[in-house]
Chains A and B, each alone.
Chain A
Amino acid sequence: MADQDALVPVIEQPEGMARLNITYGGQQGDLPDPVPFDMRDNELKQIATESVRTGSVPGIDEVGDANFDDFVVDRFPSREDVPYNRLSLRPKTPFGASGIQDGVVLPGNSSYAHCRCGHCFDTIIVNDIDAHVEGTNPPEDAYCDRCLEAGCPDKTSAECLSTQS
């Protein structure tokens, strides 16, 4: 009869290190070598990018243009039933307006709307909507900060148009 403890894989893991699990292209795999548990997200993403692009993650096919910019790292310290540190690199899942912190409540007479440039898809807060036509329609000058800086209102800015794709 199998010992229940045998279901937990025995992993030799140096102090302070962790297994990095990567999800990409409908596949999952662990990086062959452990990484520091406290390694920064950007460094972990860089390692994952190079590893997936070179096909060196068992279980994940080589993807030459793999990109983890919009992935996030979950960190799971070791515990009794899983006695080793784990890191998981997965896609992010937030929705909504850019740059708005969790828990922000809009004032009663404000809303948010799409940047008027029509290209960047960014979302902006429209304050005092009562002062504008049709309630939630943004005013004429309601461009996001990036588009304002880029001079996007005339729709000729390279920075603004570059966000179309």
Chain B
Amino acid sequence: MIEVAMVFDTDGGALYWHEPPGRSAARIPDSQFLWHIIWENRENLGGVAHTHPWSGYVYPSETDLTTFAAVEAGLGKRLVWPIIGETTTGFFSWDPGVDQYQQDHSAYWEYVKKRSWRENVEKLLEKSKGDYDG
């Protein structure tokens, strides 16, 4: 199993599949090219999803949270950050009411209604079945 990320637009369509060398079951390394993709698509960018290729509840790691915040600071806009696990999915976004990233249930229901999103989640999970890509 291996982590994969997907940059998606506000309709849930895939803009870029992020499968860089050096990723593993535990992490996806920093990527100048991923930032380039995010920046070039900033106008219609919905967010960046990534997989946690194991079963059980999904939570953002400390690395995830600081990446969310850094990218949003660079863009000057908030995004949605889905984490796709084998058995559960969590949508996370900044909640100004509590001043931290929280589960965003409204975003989840907004995207899960979209057929393109559901198909892309299946692709993400399929791509996560690969082995370490060092």
Contacts and interface: CB of A to CB of B under 8 A. Distances in A.
B73 A24 contact: yes
Interface in A85-101: 90-98, 100
Interface in B25-65: 25-32, 34-35, 38-39, 42, 50, 54-57, 59-65
B119 to A, nearest CB: 22
A25 interface: yes
A164 to B, nearest CB: 6
Given A105-B132, A136-B56, A97 B26 contact: yes
A109 to B, nearest CB: 13
Interface string A47-72: 00000000000000000001100111
Given A25-B73, A134-B56, A74 B27 contact: no
B71 to A, nearest CB: 5
A27 interface: yes
Query: Chain A interface: which size bin?
Result: 35 or more
B61 A98 contact: yes
A23 B42 CA distance: 13
Indicate the member of A90, A94, A163 with the most B CB atoms within 10 Å.
A94
A130 to B, nearest CB: 14
Given A70-B69, A70-B70, A92-B67, A122 B62 contact: yes
B100 interface: yes
A39 interface: no
B29 A102 contact: yes
A119 B24 CA distance: 25
A134 B5 CA distance: 26
B33 to A, nearest CB: 9
A118 B132 CA distance: 29
A112 interface: yes
A123 B31 CA distance: 21
A114 interface: yes
B63 A95 contact: yes
Interface of B: 3, 5, 22, 24-32, 34-35, 38-39, 42, 50, 54-57, 59-67, 69-71, 73-77, 98-100, 132, 134
User: A-B pairs with the 6 shortest C-beta distances?
Assistant: A96-B27, A26-B76, A70-B70, A91-B70, A25-B76, A123-B61
29 contacts: A23-B74, A25-B75, A25-B76, A26-B74, A71-B73, A90-B39, A91-B70, A91-B75, A93-B34, A93-B67, A94-B29, A94-B31, A95-B27, A95-B64, A96-B3, A96-B61, A96-B63, A97-B61, A100-B26, A100-B27, A102-B22, A102-B27, A103-B22, A103-B24, A103-B134, A104-B24, A121-B64, A164-B100, A165-B98
